[in-house]
């Protein structure tokens, strides 16, 4: 809906232009069209001219606003939070001393996880045994969110009171007051700030928040929006023995990101990226998809996240649906034609053809695949026919920071920037997966030249990456 009060001042101008044009036409009646115009009254001319200008004005003001990403910042955990491989194994042996099969499972998963020696957990989860409280969860929230916000404010120079829209997404920790209220209170934002708190939406919630911010910015002109993506894991560590529920303990690590968006044209030259598309796919109507990732209790009453064995197949199916929607928006005409011809041949002519996978490298320069685990990255690399360099940012994010849930895509984009690979005009494809089951995509275009960052989560260690494949396997 248009903000009519904001544009009402344009109508006196329109009326003036209409009268001028009408007068000009009346004067022009003495020319070649004199005979024809004699039959047209002034009221007809005024009506036609006013309607034409009104239609053009309506078109201009209802045209979708361009959304820009000014900058973003990722939380860098303190070194005291590190969980080296030896520490993780030692803690596992102590906690599961009477469960040798659970210990063997944990070690096996760790060796194949793709995580490195510097991933971090909140301080409470370093205790033996862990006994997190609500206060501990709030402490983690404040540490991650405030650090990311402080960095964003410093990088952009924006005043918190200039922020018009605030969106915080955290899937599993949803306290009262909300996390968005926590931010409003800390930074003393305006009383009319539009704040929202999203929970329960899984690892793809970050792109859902971007889509939400985009829609809000379409109807609120000249605004700034901040999106904060995180997962507070202090109260969500599983303490039972079920294998399907132990996996998140191994993969998930502390992390978060803050992103500043705007629709202000005055920021066009300063913004890093321009948002081109957001495509969301939700497979929750299918029972298998809905139940493949669930928070539940085990037989002993311990709460955790259960991962179904069908997870990878469901993720692949969701990706196909998402690709079908985003392909026509981004792929060159030749790739779209080959895809359609292949589909028609298989479906209607019953030809024995392999499904044609479009070459998305012709549409994108960089890929940010949710660092949910090594198996997720492997599967997408194979399905999309990507090179090792194409998925380097995802693998290195998993290796250095672990699975940071919805914020992992921003650590990956930060990696590309820190390597100095982002050039003006480059296109980036972010792909996120989440419970429900959801697959979401965002497409960004680099708006200006971006130098390798001298600060941020990657600044002091980017020279050590990428590590080779052997190191990743052995952790």
β-strand pairing of 256-262 with 68-74: antiparallel
277 belongs to the catalytic site: no
Question: How many residues in the chain?
Answer: 475
| Closest to 260 in 3D by CA, of 155, 401, 407, 415 | 155
Which one of 169, 292, 368, 370 is the catalytic residue?
A: 370
Distance, first Cα to last Cα, the chain: 53
39 belongs to the catalytic site: no
CA–CA distance, 36 with 39 (Å, rounded to integer): 6
Structure-token match 């600044």, residue found: 459
Structure-token match 């052995």, residue found: 474
Tokens of 301: 């009453």
447 belongs to the catalytic site: no
CA–CA distance, 324 with 355 (Å, rounded to integer): 12
Which one of 169, 403, 440, 447 is the catalytic residue?
A: 403
Burial of 130 (0-12, 13-18, 19+ CB in 10 A): middle
What angle, rounded to 10 degrees, do the helices at 42-62 and 10-28 form? 140
463 belongs to the catalytic site: no
Tokens of 283: 């497979």
Which one of 366, 368, 446, 447 is the catalytic residue?
A: 366
Which one of 74, 91, 120, 282 is the catalytic residue?
A: 282
370 belongs to the catalytic site: yes
CA distances, 461 to each of 81, 388, 402, 404, 469 (Å):
17, 20, 15, 18, 18
CA–CA distance, 207 with 215 (Å, rounded to integer): 12
Beta-carbon count within 10 A of 277 CB: 16
Give the residue numbers marked as catalytic: 203, 282, 366, 370, 403
């Amino acid at each position: 809906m248009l903000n009519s009060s904001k544009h009402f001042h344009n109508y006196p101008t329109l009326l003036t232009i209409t009268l001028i044009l009408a007068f000009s036409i009346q004067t022009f009646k003495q020319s070649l069209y004199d005979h024809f115009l004699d039959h047209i009254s002034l009221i007809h001319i005024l009506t036609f001219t006013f309607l034409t200008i009104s239609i053009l004005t309506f078109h201009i003001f209802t045209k979708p606003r361009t959304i820009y990403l000014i900058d973003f910042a990722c939380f860098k955990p303190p070194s005291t939070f590190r969980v080296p491989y030896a520490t993780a194994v030692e803690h596992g042996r102590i906690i599961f001393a009477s469960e040798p099969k659970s210990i063997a499972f944990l070690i096996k998963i760790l060796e194949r996880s793709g995580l490195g020696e510097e991933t971090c957990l909140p301080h409470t989860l370093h205790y033996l045994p862990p006994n997190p409280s609500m206060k501990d969860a709030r402490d983690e929230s404040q540490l991650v969110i405030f650090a990311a916000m402080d960095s964003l404010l410093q990088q952009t120079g924006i005043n918190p009171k200039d922020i018009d829209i605030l969106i915080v997404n955290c899937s599993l920790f949803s306290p009262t007051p909300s996390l968005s209220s926590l931010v409003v209170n800390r930074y003393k934002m305006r009383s009319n700030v539009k704040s929202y708190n999203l929970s329960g939406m899984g690892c793809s919630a970050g792109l859902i928040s971007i889509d939400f911010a985009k829609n809000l910015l379409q109807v609120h002109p000249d605004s700034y929006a901040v999106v904060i993506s995180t997962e507070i894991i202090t109260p969500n560590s599983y303490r039972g023995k079920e294998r399907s529920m132990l996996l998140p303990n191994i993969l998930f690590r502390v992390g978060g990101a803050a992103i500043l968006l705007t629709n202000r044209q005055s920021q066009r030259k300063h913004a890093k990226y321009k948002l081109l598309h957001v495509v969301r796919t939700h497979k929750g109507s299918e029972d298998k998809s809905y139940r493949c990732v669930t928070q539940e209790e085990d037989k002993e009453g311990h709460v955790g996240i259960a991962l179904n064995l069908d997870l990878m197949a469901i993720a692949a199916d969701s990706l196909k649906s998402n690709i079908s929607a985003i392909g026509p928006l981004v792929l060159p005409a030749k790739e779209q034609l080959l895809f359609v011809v292949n589909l028609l041949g298989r479906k209607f002519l019953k030809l024995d053809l392999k499904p044609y996978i479009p070459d998305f490298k012709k549409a994108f320069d960089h890929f940010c695949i949710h660092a949910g685990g090594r198996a997720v990255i492997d599967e997408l690399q194979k399905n999309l026919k990507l090179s090792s360099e194409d998925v380097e940012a995802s693998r290195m994010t998993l290796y250095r920071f672990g699975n940071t849930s919805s914020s992992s895509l921003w650590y990956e984009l930060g990696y590309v920037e820190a390597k100095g690979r982002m050039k003006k005009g480059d296109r980036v494809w972010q792909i996120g997966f989440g419970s429900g089951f959801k697959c979401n995509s965002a497409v960004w275009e680099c708006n200006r030249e971006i130098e390798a960052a001298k600060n941020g989560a990657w600044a002091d260690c980017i020279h050590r990456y990428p590590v080779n494949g052997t190191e990743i396997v052995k952790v």
